Structure 1
Amino acid sequence: MATTNTPTGVRGGHAKHGGSPAAEPGTPMTHRQIMEALSGLLLGMFVAILSSTVVTNALPEIISDLGGGQSAYTWVVTASLLAMTATTPLWGKLADLFSKKLLVQIALTLYVVASAAAGLSQSSGTLIVFRVIQGIGVGGLTALAQIIMAAMIAPRERGRYSGYLGATFAVATVGGPLIGGVITDTSWLGWRWCFYVGVPFAVIALIVLQKTLKLPVVKRKVKIDWTGAFLISAAVSLLLLWVTFAGDKYDWISWQTYAMLAGTVVLSALFLLTESRASEPIIPLRLFRNRTITLASLASLFVGIAMFAGTVFFSQYFQLARDKSPTMSGVMTIPMIGGLFLSSTVSGLIITKTGRWKAWLVSGGVLVTAGLGLLGTIRYDTEYWHIAVFMAIMGLGIGMMMQNLVLCTQNQVSPQDLGAASSVVTFFRSLGGAIGVSALGAVLGHRVTSYVKDGLAALGPDAAAAGHAGTGGGGIPDLDTLPGPMRTVVEAAYGHGVADVFLYSAPAALLAFLITLFIKEVALKTRAGGEAEESLENTPFVPVEQVVPIGGGGVVEAPVAAEAVGTDTGTGTGVPGSSGIPVHGVVRGTEGGAVPRAAITLISPAGRQLGRAVAGDDGGYEVDVPESGSYVLIASADGFQPQAATVAVGAEPLAYDILLVGTSGLTGSVRSEEGDMPVEGAMVIVTDVRGDVLATGKSTERGEFTFGELLPGSVTVAVNASGFRPLALPVEIGAQGVTHVEAVLRSGALVQGTVRAGAARRPLPDARVTLIDAAGNVVATATTGDDGVYGFADLDAGEYTVIATGYPPVAGALTVAGHGIDGHDVELMHPGD
């Protein structure tokens, strides 16, 4: 006997005209589809990061060729970083409102146009303007790469692919100076090709994304918070201007500092006020009610300081402290590239298998702090292999932290907030990098000048008269023009100064490490953001119906039924959901015992999944709701009926115990009373106390039947088979386990025939036929149809009397045995006929 089994909660596709089932919307992308789309995305990410680092080794020649000064030197780097940082939240919000594919193509186009224009610049001012536009495009690529990955790939699988993104970031970040150095050292190329080199990659990325990237677009009315975008951009810009010029144009403690910091605070306050009232805020402030997002953002801020410090200043160390060419400067940073590549790839693969990520964050924080601390001890004559080991340690740590901070944030939010949450973390990382580069660059200039003066003073009065040897005001000295002893002093000053930068960065890495300790680990989801948005966006919450398999091959649809009991006590010891207002309690069975390892799902009234948890061994669970309101809790466990209940959450934590009703099975066999033989094809029907049918099926060739997933309690099992009398048995199904029942059927004989009347003996309609047993009891009555046929079924063997009326009554005796009598006709007539 064939059986049909549909898993609980899965909607089957509907075939049309006998065709194959239609594909479900929101079907997850295959690995091949993901890799095809990811290839264009990684190219775009490579272009974005490359543009930020490729000019590092070419800047002295660029500024000299365009006739710029020290301020122009600073702003060629800062302008792009500033634009990227300030626009990251805007790109993230736009990704929540518009097509992500269109936005990433716009960002790539901006980058291509600005890069080509920057390469054609004839003045430093023009170059800075185009670097701003280039930074806007880079900000979009940086934010959208993470967002699109989240829309394509489930968090549980995303670690595997985040490793590729981390590796691309590593190659572009540290490989940029290497490529820039090679271009600068190649006479027939020149520095302008530092801007042109990324254009072909961007064009290829555009083509690949157009062909391979297919994401659902949710059509809805949008309203851009332009005021919020302006205020956050202005606040960040003013802060970076202060960090850039403090210690150079004016003292750190000066009226300019007070004015800029006050302006930053005012703009930030106005931004917070605007965001709290905006219908579509750039950065939804409610996201920061989630502890994970808040902590991850802070950690990203400090990781950005440490990360950019470790990449920007290496080129100056190798060129000015160790007298290496721009090309060799890039080559010598390969250990850090290798460490970052290895850790980001390996950690991504392991996270995909285990779903656990916090250990990697914590370990990464330790390694970054240790690496920067060790780098703080280097000098201009330190053995290179020592530096290589220190760089590798730092690279390993950055690879473990950088992508996983975004990953743990994306795992905490609903699909509609995916872009904003991702960009918030990226924004703080970029902000940390911008602040770190500006502040630490100023520190480096000051420390180098101080060390040079001290070194020259130690050489004697003649050397001391040289002052700062061209390092004053943050200027870059030409080592080839300096005499031997003075050159050694400058190299030692840069070696010591860059080491100080690393040492000052180590506390930032330590703070990032301490913050990660307080991030609550939540197992990664198995649905992608785009898939969840597609399947849940417009799907109302409806009760689930189960299809219960039966031994005889039939199916029965049974509504899921259970109940939940609100309590005033309870502790949550299960795996928690997203941070917010806790809902906690204990999952119990009908007998009061705890139900361990029950799965708890938190659903919004609109049908969106907000969080999940697994009850502990004591049945305790905890999930966090983002804000007060009504939510739906769904609980399920093996051996129990799933349960859905609405909970109303206020400002305080809610204690709510969940009661699960166990599921039970019913098995049995159908046999005949005579000969104790199995009865095949018997119809078995299970009804509850109200008479509602719970399950139906037929017995197998061995007379057996099976029902699963039945509610415990009193039921009636009715059995009916051809040639046997029907049987109804009361059965009590236990709370758990399988209940067995034996149905023994007695043979049922048949008596039927035709009532005829008159001389022509025609069939007589509407004749009444009564069957009376040997004790004189009326067993059954029947009324003939137009064909005069009557019949009695399910009779016991024995003596009976058949009385027919309609004409003068006629009575006749008969003996029933075996299967009965077929053809017991009765003739009626009037006297004299």
Structure 2
Amino acid sequence: MPPIPAVAEAPRMTHREVMQALTGLLLGMFVSILAGTVVSSSLPVIVSDLNGSQTAYTWVITATLLATTISTPIWGKLADISNRKLLLQLSMIMFVLASAAAGFAQDTNFLIAMRIIQGLAGGGMGALSQIVMADILSPRERGKYMGLFGAVMAVGTVGGPLIGGFITDTINWRWNFFVALPVAIVAVIIIQRTLHLPAIAKRAVKIDYLGIILLSTGVALLLIWMSLGGSEFDWASTTSYLMIGGAVLSLGLFVLVEFKAEEPLINLGLFANRTFTFAVIASLAVGISMFGTSVFLSQYMIMARGASATQAGLMTFPMMAGLLIISTGAGWMISKYGRWKMLVVIGSVLQAAGLFLLGTIHYDTSFVLVGIYMFILGSGVGLVMQNMVLVVQNAVPQKELGVASSAVTFFRTLGGTAGTAGLGAVLAASVPAMIAERKTELTNALAALGDQAAEVGAALSSGSLPDVTALPGPIQLIIESTYGDAVAGLFALAAPLSLITIVAVLLIPNQSLSNQTRAERLKEEQAAESGMVRSEEPAVVSAVSTGTVTGERKEATDG
């Protein structure tokens, strides 16, 4: 086990100092979310303009999530052994430069390449923001501030599609990738001036390069197989078998390497901690709900309801409103009362209910009803998502906080990436199949168009996403109804997986939240390891002194 890093003592920060320190952090998160969501409502327009296919549409999203998934545990490990503030700034600069470059894309291949770089940097921004919060706030205090993160996430997620849709409709979609630049510059400056973290003493570090390579290879092969299977190659094909075999072999070797590595990329001993294990399982399922379904909501609005890019952004507002309102209120309640378990359980139930309900929609379902369903789903995700990181940070030894925090984010993103890739592959296969079932109806509609039939038929058979609003009425109705049923089928497919979240959060021990910051808890862990004093946190002392993380803090008796 690596030694506990020495931590410089620092006085507890006042509320004003905390807010100053969090300002740049919140701006950085807003930039990350904005740069990712600003293209969501206009993505069908972008892919269509670049002559991309449904597979390209999925990969523009999946590439970012894939890179984020792979890089997240690497950033988390770096955060435990090096300057977290510098890492945060580097990831932010890297993210925005890639966003700016994406604005000059001439085809989907270059766009996907830039989105990969965005993802690599985004993994750092997502993981490091959670880790930095633990540096300056105790788990109990963190609840109300996590509400701020939820609010920023909701504003960025809602504002991004609105801004992106407006820019696409009034200027040009390329400006979507430039809009975050001014905010990013301000964020970097504020972080430099206001974010002051406890210093971790320098020590000799051994980077787990083999673990990084094996994990990256295994995850990449698995997600590429899920994304392209059934469209670029058959599920039962040599290519498919090679990808599955390569993924299983790489991930199996990764597990063996991590057991033997002096400083593993992911400490597998953390899985002996019940809180960590079930939080990981819940995060996997939440990732599918958060990313794997919300990604296709804009496509539903545009392709099934004939909305413009701006309208699509507005139409997804109910889901983000649910996330904003509920996560902010829940964060305040957690800090005030110290109870989190019931809120998370309620959130997991709402998440499942939202997905099941969205699985029943059609292209002509009342938007009021669709909005209610989205609000329920957003509320559930808002209650579960951020709190999984909080309960894990509260339960693990603080020397492992960076790795543990990033691991939860990693598995959530892995679930989202797998969900997006898998559901995207299902959509890419189901839409042509559903259109083929309506071949007679489509042929008759084309025949009625006369001279325009050849042009419309060529557009539909090109493999690119059609501009639904430009299609003649009868053809538009067929395409809208097809996409409406196809996207609803994705929600119905994801809904049973959300039941996993309910079971997992029910099994997470109901531990009380600590009132100590990371630095204060690290100091106790150091003292406990050296045998100087007995820690007031029994589970952490047990974990540190035995070299394991099997202990759980005493369960709360009041909640």
Verify same fold: TM over 0.5: yes
Q: How many residues align?
A: 540
Cα deviation for residue 81 of structure 1 reads 1.6
Is the CA contact 1:449–1:468 (under 8 Å) kept in the aligned structure 2? no
1:519 and 2:519 matched: no
Residue identity in the other structure for 1:496:
D
Q: Among 533, 537, 554, which residue is 2:522 paired with?
A: 533
The equivalent of 2:396 in structure 1 is: 413
Is the CA contact 1:234–1:267 (under 8 Å) kept in the aligned structure 2? yes
5+ long unaligned stretches in structure 1: 1-23, 545-575, 580-600, 618-833
The equivalent of 1:29 in structure 2 is: 13
Residues 493 and 32 (structure 1 numbering): CA distance in 2 closer, same or farther, change over 3 Å?
same
Distance 1:531 1:85 in 2: 31
RMSD: 2.8
Is the CA contact 2:394–2:513 (under 8 Å) kept in the aligned structure 1? yes
Residues 62 and 109 (structure 1 numbering): CA distance in 2 closer, same or farther, change over 3 Å?
same
Provide the secondary structure at the position in 2 that maps to 1:380. coil
Residue identity in the other structure for 2:425:
A
Residues 426 and 162 (structure 1 numbering): CA distance in 2 closer, same or farther, change over 3 Å?
same
Is the CA contact 2:208–2:261 (under 8 Å) kept in the aligned structure 1? yes
Structure 1 residues 72-119: Cα deviation after superposition (integer angstroms, max 9, x where no partner): 444332222211111000000001111111110111121122222222
Is the CA contact 2:274–2:552 (under 8 Å) kept in the aligned structure 1? no
Structure 1 residues 470-519: Cα deviation after superposition (integer angstroms, max 9, x where no partner): 56686312224432222111111111111111111111211111211111
Q: Superposition pairs for residues 40-79 of structure 1, below 5 Å?
A: 40-66=24-50, 71-79=55-63
Is the CA contact 2:298–2:313 (under 8 Å) kept in the aligned structure 1? yes
1:217 and 2:199 matched: yes
Structure 1 residues 307-349: Cα deviation after superposition (integer angstroms, max 9, x where no partner): 1133211111111111111101111111111110111111111
Distance 1:495 1:615 in 2: 46
Q: Superposition pairs for residues 419-818 of structure 1, below 5 Å?
A: 419-458=402-441, 461=444, 463=446, 475-534=464-523, 536-537=525-526, 540-542=530-532, 604-605=544-545, 612-613=553-554
Residues 195 and 614 (structure 1 numbering): CA distance in 2 closer, same or farther, change over 3 Å?
closer
Residue identity in the other structure for 1:335:
P
Cα deviation for residue 459 of structure 1 reads 6.1
Cα deviation for residue 176 of structure 1 reads 2.4
The equivalent of 1:193 in structure 2 is: 175
Provide the secondary structure at the position in 2 that maps to 1:613. coil
Structure 1 residues 611-665: Cα deviation after superposition (integer angstroms, max 9, x where no partner): 6437989xxxxxxxxxxxxxxxxxxxxxxxxxxxxxxxxxxxxxxxxxxxxxxxx
Is the CA contact 1:100–1:148 (under 8 Å) kept in the aligned structure 2? yes
Residue identity in the other structure for 1:230:
I
Cα deviation for residue 53 of structure 1 reads 2.3
Distance 1:440 1:211 in 2: 43
- The structure number with the bigger radius of gyration is 1
Distance 1:457 1:369 in 2: 37
Cα deviation for residue 383 of structure 1 reads 0.9
Q: Among 80, 104, 115, which residue is 1:120 paired with?
A: 104
Cα deviation for residue 151 of structure 1 reads 1.5
5+ long unaligned stretches in structure 2: 1-7, 448-452
Residues 612 and 453 (structure 1 numbering): CA distance in 2 closer, same or farther, change over 3 Å?
closer
Distance 2:390 2:463 in 1: 39
Is the CA contact 2:292–2:417 (under 8 Å) kept in the aligned structure 1? no
Residue identity in the other structure for 1:76:
V
Residue identity in the other structure for 1:289:
A
Is the CA contact 2:9–2:519 (under 8 Å) kept in the aligned structure 1? no
1:141 and 2:130 matched: no
The equivalent of 2:340 in structure 1 is: 357
The equivalent of 1:246 in structure 2 is: 229
Residues 607 and 436 (structure 1 numbering): CA distance in 2 closer, same or farther, change over 3 Å?
closer
The equivalent of 1:672 in structure 2 is: none
Structure 1 residues 281-316: Cα deviation after superposition (integer angstroms, max 9, x where no partner): 110011111111111111111110011133211111
Percent of pairs with identical residues: 48
Is the CA contact 1:411–1:524 (under 8 Å) kept in the aligned structure 2? yes
Provide the secondary structure at the position in 2 that maps to 1:476. coil
Is the CA contact 1:156–1:355 (under 8 Å) kept in the aligned structure 2? yes
Structure 1 residues 454-481: Cα deviation after superposition (integer angstroms, max 9, x where no partner): 3343466565999988566863122244
Is the CA contact 1:240–1:435 (under 8 Å) kept in the aligned structure 2? yes
Is the CA contact 2:512–2:555 (under 8 Å) kept in the aligned structure 1? no
Residues 413 and 615 (structure 1 numbering): CA distance in 2 closer, same or farther, change over 3 Å?
closer
Residues 472 and 517 (structure 1 numbering): CA distance in 2 closer, same or farther, change over 3 Å?
farther
Q: Among 381, 386, 396, which residue is 2:379 paired with?
A: 396
Distance 2:426 2:352 in 1: 19
Cα deviation for residue 369 of structure 1 reads 0.6
Is the CA contact 1:449–1:471 (under 8 Å) kept in the aligned structure 2? no
Higher helix share: 2
Distance 2:168 2:48 in 1: 13
Provide the secondary structure at the position in 2 that maps to 1:508. helix
The equivalent of 1:165 in structure 2 is: 149
Residues 67 and 388 (structure 1 numbering): CA distance in 2 closer, same or farther, change over 3 Å?
closer
The equivalent of 2:3 in structure 1 is: none
Distance 1:616 1:484 in 2: 63
The equivalent of 1:375 in structure 2 is: 358
> What TM-score do the two structures reach when normalised by structure 2?
0.90
Distance 1:367 1:92 in 2: 30
Cα deviation for residue 125 of structure 1 reads 3.3
Cα deviation for residue 450 of structure 1 reads 2.7
Structure 1 residues 144-186: Cα deviation after superposition (integer angstroms, max 9, x where no partner): 1111111111111111111111222222234322221111112
Is the CA contact 2:71–2:123 (under 8 Å) kept in the aligned structure 1? yes
The equivalent of 1:94 in structure 2 is: 78
Q: Superposition pairs for residues 278-357 of structure 1, below 5 Å?
A: 278-357=261-340
Distance 2:445 2:229 in 1: 32
Distance 1:472 1:244 in 2: 21
Residues 399 and 480 (structure 1 numbering): CA distance in 2 closer, same or farther, change over 3 Å?
closer
The equivalent of 1:261 in structure 2 is: 244
Residue identity in the other structure for 1:166:
G
Provide the secondary structure at the position in 2 that maps to 1:343. helix
Is the CA contact 1:181–1:327 (under 8 Å) kept in the aligned structure 2? yes
Is the CA contact 1:98–1:217 (under 8 Å) kept in the aligned structure 2? no
Distance 1:134 1:603 in 2: 37
Provide the secondary structure at the position in 1 that maps to 2:554. strand
Residues 445 and 174 (structure 1 numbering): CA distance in 2 closer, same or farther, change over 3 Å?
farther
Bigger RCO of structures 1 and 2 (CA < 8 A, at least 6 apart): 2
Higher strand share: 1
Residues 82 and 494 (structure 1 numbering): CA distance in 2 closer, same or farther, change over 3 Å?
same
Distance 2:504 2:457 in 1: 41
Residue identity in the other structure for 1:265:
V
